[in-house]
Amino acid sequence: ANVLVLHGPNLNRLGKREKHIYGQTTLAQINKKLVEKGKQWGLDVECFQSNSEGELIDRIHQCDGVFQYIIINPGAYTHYSYAIRDAIASVDLPVFEVHLSNIHLREEFRHTSVTAPVCKGQIVGFGPLGYELALVAIAEMEATSSK
Ligand code: DQA
C-alpha cells in the first residue's frame, strides 16, 4: 500500500525549533526512518512538508486513487483549519493524525483539534515514534484488510 505522510507548517524547523518540546530529531531523520520502516512492513511511504494550507489541501486531494492511507501532522492548522478538515473529509481514505507533543497537556488553544473528528484516530505525545505507531497500525490494517 502507498502511504502519504504530510507535515504541516513549521515542522521543517524540527531539530532547531523549541527543542524542549519537539526534541532534537530533524524532519529529514524522521522521514528517512519512516521510509525504511515502511519498506520492512511492505508499505511505500512518501513524505511531504508544506508551510502553506493550500498546498497541504492540494496534496490531500491528489491522494485519490494514488495513496491508500494518509498520516498527517497539520501543525497549528490542527486547531483552526476547517479547510484542511474538509479536505480530509473529502477523500475516502483512513487518515491518521499525529502530534509530536501531547497537545492536551499544553496551552488551551492546542486542546482542540478540528481535524481529528474526520480522522480514523489520533496519536499524540510520543515524539517521532508517533509516526511509526501510525505506520504499524497501517501495516496491521493491511495484513487484516480492515480499513
Ligand atoms: C504539533 C502541535 C501543534 O500545536 C503545533 O502548532 C505544532 C506541532 C505537534 O506535533 O506537537 O506545530 O502539531
ipTM: 0.99
Sorting pLDDT into bands at 50, 70 and 90, what band is 147? Answer: low
Q: How far is the CA of 111 from the centre of ligand 1 (A)?
A: 11
**Is 101 annotated as contributing to ligand binding?**
yes
Q: pTM for this one? A: 0.96
- Kindly give the interhelix angle for 129-144 and 27-40, rounded to the nearest 10 degrees: 20
Closest CA to 74 of 133, 138, 35, 118: 118
- Tens of pLDDT, residues 45-98: 999 999 999 999 999 999 999 999 999 999 999 999 999 999 999 999 999 999
CA nearest ligand 1 atom 9, residue: 99
**Taking a C-beta distance cutoff of 8 angstroms, is the pair 7, 25 a contact?**
no
Q: Which of 13, 71, 99, 129 to mutate to test the pocket of ligand 1 (most atoms within 8 A of CB)?
A: 99
In tens, the pLDDT along 81-96 reads 999 999 999 999 999 9
Distance, CA of 37 to CA of 41 (rounded, Å): 6
- Of the candidate CATH numbers 3.40.50.2000, 3.30.160.40, 3.40.50.9100, 1.10.3720.10, the domain formed by 2-144 belongs to 3.40.50.9100
